[in-house]
Amino acid sequence: MTLGELSETLGFEILTGDTNLKREIKSGYVSDLLSDVIANIEPDSVWITIQRHINILGVAKLKDVAAIIIPRNLQLDKEVIEKAKEENIAILRDSRSAFEISGLIYNALKKGM
């Protein structure tokens, strides 16, 4: 399933335009501890986190994360969104909690496989 399909199915808000929408998503990870993400996120994943400072992009870039998903409609600085586009990382947002979002993505990926 591509990021675009996933996003459309679950109604996520896309903050970074076309970035990575055609990229295939295989897995996801939920964590706000950057060391945990660095050590454990799998390739071709979406990363659900409430961290919104610019350094999350360093982690995402290093781990080749397809998209960062921000729960509870939390606000992001424009600077972070612009930098994400530059670094080819998508940022999506949703009103639901990290718990709900991860459940929905898990099921969508399971069905899509």
Partner 1 sequence: MLNDSFRFTPHITLEFKIGEKDFFIAGESASRVKKTLQQLGMKQDIIKRTAIIIYEAAMNVAIHANHGTLKVYIDPEVISIITEDEGPGIPDIELAMKEGYSTASHEVREMGFGAGMGLPNIKQCSDELDIDTKVGVGTTLKAKICLNNKN
| Residue ranges in contact with partner 1 by CB under 8 A | 32-36, 38-39, 49, 51, 53-59, 61-62
Cα angle for residues 19, 22, 27 (degrees, 5° grid) = 95
Q: Give residue 70's identity as a one-letter amino acid code.
A: I
Q: Which is nearer to partner 1, 17 or 58 (CB)?
A: 58
Name which of 18, 24, 15, 6 is nearest 77 in CA terms. 15
Q: How far is the CB of 79 from partner 1 (least distance, A)?
A: 12
What gap in Å lies between CA 73 and CA 29, rounded to an integer?
Answer: 18
Nearer to partner 1, 78 or 110 (CB): 78
Minimum CB distance to partner 1, residue 85 (Å) = 16
Q: How far is the CB of 20 from partner 1 (least distance, A)?
A: 16
Distance CA 63, CA 101 (A): 21
20: nearest Cα among 56, 60, 53? 60
Shortest gap between Cβ of 109 and partner 1 (angstroms)? Answer: 22
